[in-house]
Amino acid sequence: MKIVRIMAGVSLAAGLFAGSPASAQFFLKSYDFSGATVTGAEPEMGMPLPGATPAELRAGLVWNMRAALNVAALQCDFAPMLLTVDNYNAMLRDHSAELKSSLDTINAYFVRTAKTKAAGQTAFDRFGTRTYSAFATVAAQYGFCQTASKIGREVIFAPRGQLGDVATRYMRELRNSLIPYGEQQFPRAFYARTYLFLPDFQPDCWRKQRYSATYCGSSAKKKKR
């Protein structure tokens, strides 16, 4: 009977893990961070770019995604199976032309919308700093790293020139992953309080090293501790 129970437990565990890639599994069932496609005009997708053209908004999304994967490469290497460093480096090599074009487009936007060239450069530097720092997380690290790994694979398999398409499809998911969530298969099991029913350890409750239920009551009726 013990062998049967052990085999049943192994089968159950295999079934729980079968639905997700083994390369990025922190939980039995991870939270679903997926969301709708974006254009870049959504205020929650990053620093606002008022008056930006569709091309400039797309460039902003690309740069946000690059920043996210860069942060993931630095922050998620505690789990090498996520390949966040390899994915990021592959993106730099395979999509270098589109990344440079996006950078030039964003830079031109800030020059165009600022009063002076120097003010435009300052605004561009602020955009870069805030964009990168917005993806730093501690509480949501597992969810962010797992999501960045998934999107990093989408990036390296995307044809050249279509990095912006990946960003419009997955930027909301990347942003959503910054909200901390934990285990979804058994959300209560891992945080349930353990109760111990202990006897009263007052000396008067013991007679000849034996607990006296007559004097202090049954330990099973004691309050949860």
Q: What is the pLDDT of residues 206-222, one digit of tens each?
A: 777 777 776 666 544 44
Phi, psi at residue 195, to the nearest 5°? Answer: -105, 135
Contacts of 92 (CB under 8 A, 6+ apart): 99
* pLDDT at residue 206, as a whole number: 78
pLDDT computed for residue 184 by the predictor: 74
Bigger pLDDT: 92 vs 30: 92
Which range in 20-24, 117-121, 191-195 is most confidently predicted, on average pLDDT?
117-121
For residue 210, CA distances in Å to 5, 18, 198, 199, 222 come to 37, 51, 14, 11, 17
The arithmetic mean of pLDDT across residues 66-89, rounded, is: 94
pLDDT value at 6 more than 90: no
Does residue 186 carry a pLDDT above 80?
Answer: no
pLDDT, position 182 = 77
Residue 214 to residue 208: CA distance in whole angstroms:
14
Output the average pLDDT for the chain. Answer: 81
